[in-house]
Chain A
Amino acid sequence: MQVEVQLTYAPIPSEVPPPAPATGAGAWVEFRGLVRSQENGRAITALEYEAYEPMAEREVRRLLNELGARYGCLAARVIHRIGVVPVGQAALYVGIAAEHRAEAFKLLTEFMDRLKQDVPIWKRRAIPAAEIGGVSPHPWVGVSMPGVDRGPGEPARPADVLGLLRRLCGQLEAERLPLAQAIGRVLREPVCAPEDLPPFDRAAVDGYAVRLDDPSTEFRVVDVIRAGAWQPRKLDRGEAVRIATGAALPCEGLQVLMKEDVQTTGDTIRVNRRTADRNIRTRGEDARAGQRLVEPGSVVTPGVAALLAGLGRVEVWVTRLPRVRHIATGNEIVPPAQAPAPGQIRDSNSILVRAFLGQWGIVPQQTLLGDDDAALRAALRNLEPGLDLLLISGGASVGEQDFTRRLLDEAGFVVHVSKTAARPGRPLIVAQRGSTLAFGLPGNPLAHLVCLNVYVRAALQAWSGSTASDDFHRGVLAGELATDRSQQETFWPARSDCAEGTWMLRPLPWRSSGDLTVLARANALIRVPTGAHRFVPGSWVEFVPARPAL
């Protein structure tokens, strides 16, 4: 059974698209569990849910797979909201697709019973009617999800293709990884401070700790505390402890005199200058025990990794990487190491795909095939189980050597998009079979660069569960941009540089989507909307950074 599970702090959309099993769905049963206005006889405004997120997701998945096999259902999607859920809003969404309604209803009923027994999610507290602060008074309006179909043969607009991809690519499962392997992945659990940070009062400077209430000008040094040492003791009037930066203070109610402000003679110090500054980093000033420091959906950056290491978190739950197969096709292409015969060219797309995916740490399985029906058909038949993404380069152009679409269709893929309304990359195919998403990428190098950075990137982002904004960036044109084909949306290759906080974009000359040299210079794609044909320097434009943005 095709299963998609999501735990979210955001409202559940008012319309959730049905999962699209490969074949045979005759029933689609949906259930929403709403927060009622009464909890144990008391009027409430909201419930707060808490979850052991990685386990909750796994348990839901395990339950659905078990029940799906028992009742013979085809697909399921479950969304459980956590955090504060206002009255009247959905805390749970379950959608089940099956051949007939009976199986779907049975699965739903049993799933709800088992959810309430086994899935580690708790109603943490009911927020009484009096306490309305913190709950948004605005009812959340669900995002409508426009379809992509614009009639048979109609090209799909890029914005619609992106919407479709976000719909098709639910967040992938979480896995627990050693910290060093988790860098760059998306966190699937909140990171909380297990204790106060810093966990004890410590000296902010090298100097001498004395009692704050001791006005003496001469002190006897009774102890030395180095960083890392733990030497609790009381201090009497006239006593000081020599202490290093970062070392734990011996007791409360102290002040650290900077060593520059005292004069030392043997075991005695004389204070030359005393300010009001205590020079102490107090316990919990960085974070209090239990405080949420990093939210699920954040990327494990070097800084987040450093924080996790500092908290002793050597393993973390992150989204797994998608499993990717790339097939390059075309009789005209030869491996780069081989001298092309007249009429042939070297394959530059395979390394482009590999390098692009490498930015997410994804290593694709790659194959190079000719325009050979039988070979591609066999490759599609032998796709590895559990494959998430299939990329096919070449053969996407409708008309001449088009066979990707036909063979995907034959292999049981549902073709959602077979042409886009933007160039380069018009002959793009987006198809799906079960939980495998397939792209037919037009073989031209520039079209490849565009389709990878605009469409494939959107799928990877959606799978990762990252909450980072995926919008287009805005920048200023540093040169004139004129197009002779204003009736088509265009992704124009450009060189971007950041100057004084503003992205400056220099459009690069290109003639066709077959251009290769422009790939080496382009690090951005300017979106030229339909109807626009000339932008003067200084105009604001939208762009997608072609990764890595250097």
Chain B
Amino acid sequence: MRVLFFAHLRDVTGCAEMQLHCAGADAAELWRRLIAAYPGLEKYRDSVRLAQNAEYAAPDARFDNADEVALIPPVSGG
């Protein structure tokens, strides 16, 4: 799956996106994999929401390799 990073999370990861293979993962598993790749994400976990294919993911969502996943830190538009 394609995982997108925005705003200050880009500074943490040093990149705007990454490829991850974790078919069938739930949010907890996905986070485990993301933090393994970028330990700096850990401290943002509580404030970041996950999006799945451009919609906020439900708490019990399962993620698939074809999904576009995005980490949405607190927003500040307007």
Complex interface residues of chain B between 43 and 69 (CB less than 8 A to chain A): 51, 53-56, 66, 68
B30 on interface, CB distance cutoff 8 Å: no
* Inter-subunit contact B76/A120 (CB<8 Å): no
A80 on interface, CB distance cutoff 8 Å: yes
Using A50-B7, A55-B55, A120-B70 as known contacts, say yes or no to A92 and B15 having CB atoms under 8 A apart: no
Q: Which of B17, B66, B75, B78 contacts A194, CB < 8 Å?
A: B17
Neighbouring A residues of B72 by C-beta, 8 Å: 52, 55, 120
* Inter-subunit contact B53/A176 (CB<8 Å): yes
- Docked Cα-Cα span, A292 to B6, in Å, equals 14
* Inter-subunit contact B16/A315 (CB<8 Å): no
Chain A, residue nearest B67 (CB):
A315
Complex interface residues of chain A between 183 and 230 (CB less than 8 A to chain B): 192, 194-195
Chain B, residue nearest A94 (CB):
B78
- Docked Cα-Cα span, A314 to B2, in Å, equals 10
Using A52-B70, A54-B54, A55-B54 as known contacts, say yes or no to A119 and B16 having CB atoms under 8 A apart: no
Neighbouring B residues of A117 by C-beta, 8 Å: 75
Number of interface residues of A (CB under 8 A): 34
Q: Which of A91, A112, A176, A314 contacts B54, CB < 8 Å?
A: A176
* Inter-subunit contact B51/A119 (CB<8 Å): no
Chain A binding surface SS class: mixed
Neighbouring B residues of A120 by C-beta, 8 Å: 6, 51, 70, 72, 75, 77
* Inter-subunit contact B77/A116 (CB<8 Å): yes
Using A52-B6, A122-B6, A176-B54 as known contacts, say yes or no to A195 and B15 having CB atoms under 8 A apart: yes
Neighbouring A residues of B10 by C-beta, 8 Å: 290
B-contact bits for A87-123, CB 8 A (1 contact / 0 none):
0000110000000000000000000100111111111
Closest CB in chain B relative to A42 CB, distance in Å: 16
* Inter-subunit contact B68/A176 (CB<8 Å): yes
A58 on interface, CB distance cutoff 8 Å: yes
Closest CB in chain A relative to B48 CB, distance in Å: 11
Using A116-B76, A119-B75 as known contacts, say yes or no to A194 and B55 having CB atoms under 8 A apart: no
* Inter-subunit contact A115/B78 (CB<8 Å): yes
Task: List 7 extra interface pairs beyond A58-B54, A194-B17, CB under 8 A.
Answer: A117-B75, A120-B72, A122-B73, A192-B17, A194-B16, A195-B15, A317-B54
List 27 A-B pairs, Cβ < 8 Å: A52-B70, A52-B72, A54-B54, A55-B70, A80-B78, A91-B77, A112-B78, A117-B75, A118-B56, A118-B75, A119-B75, A119-B77, A120-B6, A120-B70, A120-B72, A121-B75, A121-B76, A122-B6, A122-B75, A122-B76, A194-B17, A194-B18, A289-B14, A289-B15, A290-B10, A314-B66, A315-B66
